[in-house]
Amino acid sequence: MSKMHREGRRHMDIQLIIKYLTDLGGNNNREWYHAHKSENIAASAEFEALIRELIFSIGEFDSSVIHNEPKNLTFKLTRDTRFSHDKSPYNPAFRAHISSMGKLPVPVGYYIMLKPGNQSFLGGGLFADMFKDATAMVRDYIVQNGEEWEKIIQAPEFMKYFTVQGSALKNVPAGYEKEHPQAEYLKFKNWYLEYPIRDEELRDAEVFLTKATELFRIMKPFNDYLNKALKGFQMPVR
């Protein structure tokens, strides 16, 4: 991060975010939400300030994200409760996805969720498992580029912080070799990373920002690999 940018940026208050989300979690109803709109606006501004700093710091090793505006990368607090037993109208979490195409799931990028109760995490990779074309593209790429995959996920720095996660089939899907060296990963329908963040790690915004930037830097080769696999992917038209 450039010295000029570091000196010119505003102080961030992540605790204000956590307090608002904690209060919302304890008062998860529309009446409370609308009565505390000013707190929502203040907390959202802090979160957008944090995302802006992350865009700058990630941009030092991944220039494809620099053009993003924070407000275009965040997700709504409201939940879709139509098919859920839990009818709470809000998810008390601030979330954002930073990639070359904003918050779209593809291309993959850098994900952050702030949620009180030690439920925050930093993530990367392909979280969505409902895009059959995307799943097939990544499987096919792993088949052809298995050594590169292993080199990335076996790197000591990567293994120190991350394990590849995903929803997986019981068996290697039809059309793929059961004995392939990366057979276990061919069972996956999505491939993503999560690094948990405890509430106490959010007390100092500067320390958290430094840690988040470093973890995103370490996951970049993983994201790059998936984005090469997903080159040409088209989001389904609704």
- Amino acid in the structure at residue 166: G
Q: In what order do the strands lie in the sheet with 120-126?
A: 94-98, 110-114, 120-126, 191-197
3-class SS of residue 137: helix
The whole-number pLDDT of residue 72 equals 98
The whole-number pLDDT of residue 80 equals 87
Closest Cα partner for 65 from 104, 95, 94, 93? 104
Asked if 141 and 229 count as a contact pair (C-beta separation under 8 A), the reply is yes
The whole-number pLDDT of residue 5 equals 53
Which uninterrupted H or E stretch holds 185? helix 183-186
The whole-number pLDDT of residue 83 equals 84
DSSP assignment string, 36-66: THHHHHHHHHHHHHHHHHHHHHHHTT-GGGT
The whole-number pLDDT of residue 4 equals 44
The whole-number pLDDT of residue 137 equals 98
Domains in the chain with CATH codes? 3-229 (3.30.930)
pTM of the model: 0.93
In whole angstroms, how far apart are CA 194 and each of 112, 120, 166? 9, 10, 10
How far is 81 from 59, CA to CA, in rounded Å? 36
Q: pLDDT truncated to tens, each residue of the chain (238 aa)? A: 544 455 555 678 999 999 999 999 999 999 999 999 999 999 999 999 999 999 999 999 999 999 999 999 999 999 988 888 889 999 999 999 999 999 999 999 999 999 999 999 999 999 999 999 999 999 999 999 999 999 999 999 999 999 999 999 999 999 999 999 999 999 999 999 999 999 999 999 999 999 999 999 999 999 999 999 999 999 888 7
